[in-house]
Amino acid sequence: MKTRVWLSMTVLMLALAPPLHSQQAGGGAPGPASDEVPFIFLPSPTVPDSEATSRPIPRLPDGSVDLTGPWVGGGSNVDIELEGGLKPGELPLLPWARELRDKRDKKDEPYTACLPMGVPRVNPYPWKFAMSYTPKGLTHIYVLHETGDAGAHRVIHMDGRTHPVDPIPTWFGHSIGHWEGDTLVVDTSGYNDKFWFDSRGTPHTEQLHTVERYTRINWGRLRHVFTLDDPGAFSRPVTMTFMARLLRADLKTGGGELMEFICLEDNQYGAASGITPGTGTAPK
């Protein structure tokens, strides 16, 4: 039996390319964000602005809002400060963290070595929420990424548990969630310090604690309000706002579903494709 494999040929280039435009103008406080999302490429067509409010917000059988997606955008990729709606220099990094970010080189980006991108770095790749139910109701939400290297995914525990007292530091941390009306609130701690927030090299420490609020503001848009608290690398907590677009279902283009992407050890996938890490170039 033949297996059809979809490959995202632009992934490594996009992770290293300069931003095309910001996701949000103005300050980083929660509020309306621009619909603009960097790096929207075919075959990942999204619902256009003219159709974003053309349908009602869908709901699941239990009455909760359907956040499933799949979505494109909604997080940082190139520059968390810019894409999160902050002004240049407004990200409250401690001196050592700012110095480290400024001396990092894009060619050393961990993701080019097939390492996970961390939170909130879901942009610009398609992703979705997957709900897991038992007779007692919703127990887990899984965040699945088109860049699901080696099966990586994020787990949000919805069963009322608390964070472990001494968690083992991991790429996605330990996440617990609950609903506040139609908003999904995700509290995460237990991160390791290995991933970059963006290809600019914004760092963090294992003291990182994040709170995310996901709200489907209409049929075609999902607002992601992201609060970052890391006293090891930041002088104060900071809140940023991102916007995700719904991936449009289109049987002719294959849109509406997540494609497969496999990143091999030592980035041999990129080498085989003629992609040179650190330059964002590909063969003509």
Domain boundaries, the chain: 11-24+32-49+59-272
Q: How far apart are CA 255 and CA 281, in angstroms?
A: 25
Return the pLDDT at 121: 86
Return the pLDDT at 86: 96
Band the pLDDT of 156: cuts 50, 70, 90: very high
Mean pLDDT, the chain, whole residue set = 79
- Mean pLDDT, to the nearest integer, of 66-87? 93
- Mean pLDDT, to the nearest integer, of 153-158? 93
Cβ-Cβ contacts under 8 Å for 4 (sequence gap 6 or more)? none
Tally DSSP H helices, then E strands, for the chain: 4, 9
pTM of the model: 0.79
- Mean pLDDT, to the nearest integer, of 94-118? 89
| Amino acid present at 148 | G
- Burial of 138 from C-beta contacts in 10 A (0-12 / 13-18 / 19+): middle
Return the pLDDT at 246: 93
Residue 139 near residue 159 (C-beta atoms within 8 A): yes
The answer to whether residue 8 scores a pLDDT higher than 50 is no
- Measure the CA angle with vertex 110, ends 118 and 206; round to 5°: 50
* Strongest mean pLDDT among 33-37, 122-126, 243-247: 243-247
Cβ-Cβ contacts under 8 Å for 155 (sequence gap 6 or more)? 140, 141, 142, 143, 172, 175
**For 111-123, how does the pLDDT look when each residue is reduced to its tens digit (9 = 90+)?**
777 788 889 987 6
Return the pLDDT at 265: 58
**For 217-272, how does the pLDDT look when each residue is reduced to its tens digit (9 = 90+)?**
999 999 999 999 999 999 999 999 999 999 887 645 545 677 777 776 555 544 55
**Whats the size of the chain, residue-wise?**
284
Structure-token pair, residue 182: 């139609």
Would you report the helix, strand and coil content of the chain in percent, each value rounded to 5?
Answer: 15, 25, 60
Share of residues in the chain with pLDDT > 90 (%): 51
The answer to whether residue 34 scores a pLDDT higher than 60 is no
CA 214, distance to chain mean position in Å, is 12
The answer to whether residue 3 scores a pLDDT higher than 50 is no
* Strongest mean pLDDT among 78-87, 125-134, 259-268: 78-87
The answer to whether residue 281 scores a pLDDT higher than 70 is no
**For 167-195, how does the pLDDT look when each residue is reduced to its tens digit (9 = 90+)?**
999 999 999 999 999 999 999 999 999 99
The answer to whether residue 39 scores a pLDDT higher than 80 is no
